[in-house]
Amino acid sequence: MSRTRLFAAVLGALAVFTLAAPPAATAAAPQALVRTIYYDPSRAAELATTVEDAVKIWNAGVTSVKLVRGTGGITITTAQNGSAPGTASCVGCTRGQIYFYRNQITSSGASSLRVVVHEFGHILSLNHPSDIGNCAKVMAGGRCQNAQPSTAELAAVQRFWTSRVAAPGPAPHEHVLLAG
Ligand SMILES: [Zn+2]
């Protein structure tokens, strides 16, 4: 290959990257920039539509990770009675379980959509903040109706999964959230 043709080939490759990559991306392959987490709502019972609403909220708010209906990821189960309105088996993870408990959702005074958004927030990497009861944050619990994550909550999820993609390291830590 002549020097001129080589130069043209390099330029062509650069153009492909420039066109395909989002503004924040540098060298990573475009397809790898979005992490997919599959969720299976087949045991979510009457909360199945609420699950879809919660998924829409998160998917609309972040671009580095996408919740997609399917198997092999997060299973969602609705049951009558438990330790909290909901529990998530892990934080910042692609495989695990979410449970929802009807009696505790009712007694919590929170909207069911807020509870569902909250448990997905754990899966997406968020822990509880120190200001419990702050209705502006979906991770803060409280007798609240707001189900829209705060700007800071969305930014934290966005950062977490962006860094997961850019620097795949050890598996995310997993712990059981008994307190919901
Ligand atoms: Zn929680």
Q: How many CA atoms lie within 13 A of 3 on its CB side?
A: 0
Specify if 150 maps to a domain. yes
Claim to verify: residue 113 and residue 24 sit in the same structural domain: no
Specify if 55 maps to a domain. yes
Residue 166 to residue 24: CA distance in whole angstroms: 12
Specify if 176 maps to a domain. no
Specify if 155 maps to a domain. yes
Specify if 178 maps to a domain. no
Claim to verify: residue 16 and residue 88 sit in the same structural domain: no
pLDDT, the chain, mean: 84
Residue 109 DSSP symbol: -
- Does pLDDT of 176 surpass 80? no
Cα(51) to centroid(ligand 1), Å = 16
Cα(168) to centroid(ligand 1), Å = 26
Q: Residue range 162-168: average pLDDT? A: 70
Q: Residue range 126-151: average pLDDT? A: 98
Cα(29) to centroid(ligand 1), Å = 34
Domain around 5: 1-28
Task: Please give the tally of structural domains in the chain.
Answer: 2
Q: What are the distances in angstroms from CA 52 to CA 9, 26, 61, 126, 132?
A: 45, 33, 14, 19, 26
Claim to verify: residue 81 and residue 16 sit in the same structural domain: no
Cα(129) to centroid(ligand 1), Å = 10
Q: Give the tens place of pLDDT for each residue, 74-95.
A: 999 999 999 999 999 999 999 9
